[in-house]
Amino acid sequence: MHREAIERLLPAAFQDAATPGSPLAALLGVMEALHEPAERALDAADALYLPYRTRDGFVDFLARWVAVDHLRSAPGDAEPMPIGRLRNLVAEGAMLARWRGTPEGMRMALSVATGVTTFVIEEPPDRPFHFVVRVPAAAAGQLPLIMRIVAAEKPAASTSELIVERPSVEEGS
């Protein structure tokens, strides 16, 4: 709070006594200085909860908050998910939760988490409650993450299989 705002909260007799150079004016200056760090923190509080503005260390907390923390890393991963992709997952967390358990939700989660957008999810008509996930060659190096996402995003009573597509001639050159 600024000195003037604090002064306005005082009774009229104290406001009259808060003249420049007075002990009360000095005390109001100290009060203003003591409030300043808290005011600065409160002014920036909204940035804590914005996935693209918060500090890196807080993104993991936000991932737990929107239930995408299981996608961060697991044993068998070559390296943890880059922080930028985790920020994307947090930003899309509400949308992913809304579509969870559907083929479209699985495709969206795979795309956001891997950075590859060409996943194909098929439901063969001759195999009810079964999903075929066609993994683009560009995402083949992220199979532990992809398997974790498929296991988490598919309906519990369904089965799934992953088919890793071979790179096309254009991709291989």
Q: Which residue type occupies 55?
A: R
Neighbouring C-beta atoms of residue 139, cutoff 10 Å: 21
**pLDDT tens digits for 110-127?**
999 999 999 999 999 999
How far is residue 103's CA from residue 76's CA, in Å, rounded to a whole number?
25
**pLDDT tens digits for 126-158?**
999 999 999 999 999 889 889 989 998 888 899
**pLDDT tens digits for 57-95?**
899 999 999 988 887 776 666 677 889 999 999 999 999
Domain boundaries, the chain: 3-43, 51-172
pLDDT at 169 over 70: no
Locate all alpha helices (DSSP H) within 20-71, ordered by sequence.
23-43, 45-48, 56-65
54: Cβ contacts below 8 Å, ≥ 6 apart? 47, 48, 62
Residues 135 and 161: beta-carbon distance below 8 Å = no
pLDDT value of position 79: 73
Residue that the structure tokens 């000095």 belong to: 26
Q: What is the average pLDDT across 6-26?
A: 91
pLDDT at 172 over 70: no
pLDDT value of position 75: 66
